[in-house]
Amino acid sequence: MSRSILTIDSKALEFNIKSLSKFSKKPVIAVVKSDAYGVGVKHIAKILEGIKEVEFFAVACVEEGLELRELGIKKPILILGGVLKGEEKAIKEYSLTPVVSHPEHLKPLEGLNVPIHVKYDTGMGRLGFLEEIIDDPRVEGVLTHLSSPAEEEFSKKQIEKFKNILKHYKNVKYVHLESSAGVIYKVPYATHIRVGLAIYGEKPLSNYPVQLTQVLSLKARLISVKRLPKGYSISYSRTYKLERDALVGVIAFGYADGMMKSLSNRGKVYYKGKALDIIGNVTMDMTMVDLTGTDAKVGDWVEIVGPHQSFTDLAKMAGTIPYEIMCNLSRRIKREVL
């Protein structure tokens, strides 16, 4: 009954995890924050739990950790976004592993017997200690985050800085800093990779050396197909005028579903392999496309992401990153796991 479907290929997901792990020669911390990047954590958590290369999960906050436990996840769960007062009870009760990145994060954890990972800011300018060493027997892991993996010189400085910090942590079990793009550095002293985007087959860099398969496809149905005459204007604010008589389709997928408004008059979708221009402004629930030359009918499906374009391709046209588009995929889209 759904007018839009996001299909998740579980075999491809497993292939990508194994491929990333093999490339880096390390097990995986699967980052599934923000409802698994909009894909829907309830649809993929159990699949990931069943893959032996996945040793850890990571989410942004305690609520997301609880959700994983409620879905039956038994593997350890890292809370990347620090610890605030009031969160300690849930951390203990649900066996979550907090990442401490500020002195204030240690206060709620006083007297609590839980493992801790300590985060360093080696050049991200976001979370992390600069050089303070946390001398605490509960510390089982140390991490940092690369701010710009595409920049080799800067990344290597971060990797070197982190190596110096690690001299003070001889007995930790977990050392991690490589995100999807970061895996290209094959950091020899790290024990795990910490990846999100690439597990869905979206390449984080243009010359990405890891072999990946597309996991996600997204399609939506046409709710109207009609001929309109040359000169007719399309959608709100009349930003597009037909240069010829045209067959105009309306897809049941708008910016509320995750079609960025910046794709107005810029993006493309596909019908039976043929590229269709998005014409006029994208609206809340609908997007108009030029179907001229096709035999499309009301009810037919249009590919938004699939064999012809990835979320990364769509993001380039929209002037953003695939993360942002994926995180905005609405609840209204049906999720289907193959």
Ligand X SMILES: *Cc1c(COP(=O)(O)O)cnc(C)c1O
Contact region with ligand X (CB under 6 A), list: 4-12, 42-50, 162-170, 178-186? 178-186
DSSP 325-337: HHHT--TTSEEEE
- Give yes or no for residue 215 binding ligand X (CB under 6 A): no
Which DSSP helix (H) or strand (E) runs through 144? strand 139-144
What separation in angstroms does the CA of 125 have from each of 97, 130, 145, 170? 23, 10, 10, 26
Query: Residue 172 CB, nearest distance to ligand X (Å)?
Result: 17
- Give yes or no for residue 195 binding ligand X (CB under 6 A): yes
Alpha carbons 202 and 220: distance in angstroms, whole number: 20
Q: What residues numbered 68-87 form the site for ligand X, per CB under 6 A?
A: 80
Query: Residue 124 CB, nearest distance to ligand X (Å)?
Result: 8
Site string for ligand X, 108-147 (x = CB under 6 A): -------------------------------------x--
- Give yes or no for residue 61 binding ligand X (CB under 6 A): no
- Give yes or no for residue 217 binding ligand X (CB under 6 A): no
Alpha carbons 316 and 320: distance in angstroms, whole number: 6
Among 204, 249, 254, 267, which residue interacts with ligand X (rule: CB under 6 A)?
204
Name the residue with the smallest CB distance to ligand X: 196
Q: How many CB atoms lie within 10 A of CB 295?
A: 10
Q: Is the dihedral of CA 44, 45, 47, 53 positive or negative?
A: positive
Among 82, 196, 267, 322, which residue interacts with ligand X (rule: CB under 6 A)?
196
For 107, residues 6+ apart whose C-beta sits below 8 A from its C-beta are: 85
- Which positions are annotated as active-site residues? 33, 236
Return the residue matching tokens 């193959």: 338
Residues at the contact surface with ligand X, assessed by CB under 6 A = 31, 33, 80, 145, 179-181, 194-198, 204
